[in-house]
Amino acid sequence: METKTVVAVSLGLIVFSVLLGVYYYPQLPDQFATHWGMNGEANGYSGRLEGIIMLPIISVFIVALFLVLPRFDPLKKNYSSFRKYYNGTRLVMAGFFAYIQVLMILWNLSYRFNFLQMMAIAFGALFFYLGILLEHAKQNWFVGIRTPWTMSSEKVWDKTHKLGGKLFKAAGIISFLGAFVFKEILLLSVAIVIASSIAIVIYSYLEFKKLK
């Protein structure tokens, strides 16, 4: 998608989130659940107004940030080679927060489900798309696996991101499919992503050493 189209669709998702909150505002409780424990039950609350505007505000910030970051990157010319995947990340993030907004409003309207299990579905899709982005990303200072070794060698960058992409997509598949089976899948998925991130950093160092 073109940048203007992605921004327009992303803003549409944000507006949808806001309008959904406004529409159900009179029916929502004054103590709005905003945090859930590992058992999937709410254990943190905010005011009703703060609850419905929190995620749209975060989403606006992310969409705007992704729009301006390339302008400050010394390697901004490289964005053109993975622009559609970079733009897609903005759209996926806006969709992610819109989905969580729907879950939060449903919960606060007294619909009951395991919140973290439902979130794992969204995280699965997010991890998988981030894997796609990593596989196509070229050297830059804001997006990707930026270690001293990937930033020092384009070859190390490419090999590291190919591996990172595969690991993140695997984590996404595990999170998405596991959400329909295991209640604790989100914790497992985050652990896999953290372990993968550590492994990727070590891999970039070892690949750089090979060049020497």
User: Tens of pLDDT along the chain (212 residues)?
Assistant: 677 888 899 999 999 999 999 999 999 999 999 988 877 788 889 999 999 999 999 999 999 999 999 999 999 999 999 999 999 999 999 999 999 999 999 999 999 888 888 989 999 999 999 999 999 999 999 999 999 999 999 999 999 999 999 999 999 999 998 887 776 777 888 888 999 999 999 999 999 999 86
Question: How high is the pLDDT of residue 178?
Answer: 85
Containing 136, the helix (H) or strand (E) segment is helix 115-136
User: What is the model's pLDDT at position 1?
Assistant: 66
Using only the alpha carbons of the chain, give its radius of gyration. 19
The answer to whether 211 touches 155, Cβ cutoff 8 Å, is: yes
Note the maximum CA span of the chain.
65
Strands (E), 67-193: none
Kind plus residue range of the DSSP H or E element containing 44: strand 42-47
How many CB atoms lie under 10 A from the CB of residue 104? 24
pTM for this predicted structure: 0.91
Look at residue 182 in the predicted model and tell me its pLDDT. 73
Q: Copy the structure tokens of residue 22.
A: 């406004």
Q: Which residue has the tokens 């995620």?
A: 55
The letter for the amino acid at 150 is T
